[in-house]
Amino acid sequence: MRVALLVPGPFDTISGGYAYDRRMIAGLRAALHTVDVIALAGQHPVADAAARAAAREVWNNLPGDALPVIDGLGLPAFDGLDLTRAVGIIHHPTSLETSQDEHTRAAQKTVERRLMRTLARVIVPSPLTGEQLARDFDVDPARIRVVMPGTDAAPRCAGSGLACCHVLAIGTLIPRKGHDALLRALARLFDLDWRLTIVGSAAADPVHAHGLVALAEELGIAGRVRFAGEVVDAALEALWQSADIFALATHWEGYGMAIAEALKRGLPVAITAGGAAGALVPPEAGVVCPPGDLEQLSKALRRLIFSRELRAYLAENAWQAGQDLPSWDDQSRAFTAALI
């Protein structure tokens, strides 16, 4: 099988969606399939003229024997083209990005609905995302395939070992990830000893990222908060190992790869149930709050930061739950099957 993955460049971007694509492509190649990764120029997901021109040029020059697989981040750029032979990877609908105004989101949803309905198949990372595409985007359920992300074997988190509780959040600095809500929830805990590390790139929305730094100053917690930027490999593993709690106040996740990574390492979690995120966390492994509910999230964090015993109990259950998560080898095989 020959596959052409069409995805906004650069392909080495650090995010859950790009990580998913890279791992699935690696699995295809390991199974001796041919994969061409074609980076799309222009602005995405709200496609500008350069993005639409790039998409059209790429589409018109695809080899006849190649199966086109389009990452959902770049899908709107293909509006107006016949995609009936293509497969889409929809990590989550881009019209759910809370950084967009209502008019833009409505227009984006119209485009996504039109295109998703024409795709030969749609691959999604969770049943909930599949259900949403069928319900809100008119995608035929028979054409939806659920292929969850995998996980790698990972060492169990040792924790900080300090009196000061280390809270770790991982997610690009965009409004949908809810880092502002997490900052506000933690700022209420002025009487407790905690510090927060936020890992994530500021490149996607520099204005919002700057606003998060300003918000930490405004709330009087800048001295407790570290914006670490993009962190990978050994440096990221060191942050995992020194963490006592994983927290994320996300508004929406098509799956929640960072949450799965926390469970895999036996780290108790405090998150909001945005999209599929809440479904990952067993009740005995962490606390799941409604999106935007600062009071409940703050109370949950208070309990976890205050009580080592509670953290230890949740950590054991998180570890057990994490060991049941699928591997990338298993999921890459499932992905290959979904293409056929």
CATH number at residue 208: 3.40.50.2000
The residue-averaged pLDDT of 299-328 equals 97
User: Each residue of 24-66: pLDDT tens digit?
Assistant: 999 999 999 999 999 999 999 999 999 999 999 999 999 999 9
User: Each residue of 212-243: pLDDT tens digit?
Assistant: 999 999 999 999 999 999 999 999 999 999 99
Domain annotation covers residue 157: no
- Tokens 């502002």 found at: 180
Cβ-contact 73, 44 below 8 angstroms: yes
Cβ-contact 176, 251 below 8 angstroms: yes
Nearest-CA neighbor of 198 among 236, 252, 159?
Answer: 236
What is the Cβ-side half-sphere exposure of residue 116, based on CA atoms within 13 angstroms? 33
Cβ-contact 197, 169 below 8 angstroms: yes
Range of the domain at 29: 2-150+327-339
Domain annotation covers residue 307: yes
Q: Same structural domain for residues 169 and 292?
A: yes
- Count of residues in the chain: 340
* Cβ within 8 Å of residue 281, ≥6 positions away: 259, 263, 269, 271, 288, 321
The alpha carbon of 176 is separated from its chain's Cα centroid by a whole number of angstroms, namely 10
At residue 110 the predicted structure's pLDDT band, cuts being 50, 70 and 90, is: very high
Q: What phi, psi does 46 have (nearest 5°)?
A: -80, 95
Q: Same structural domain for residues 103 and 208?
A: no
Cβ-contact 268, 159 below 8 angstroms: no
Number of domains in the chain: 2
Please tell me the distance from the alpha carbon of residue 291 to that of residue 182, in angstroms, as a whole number. Answer: 11
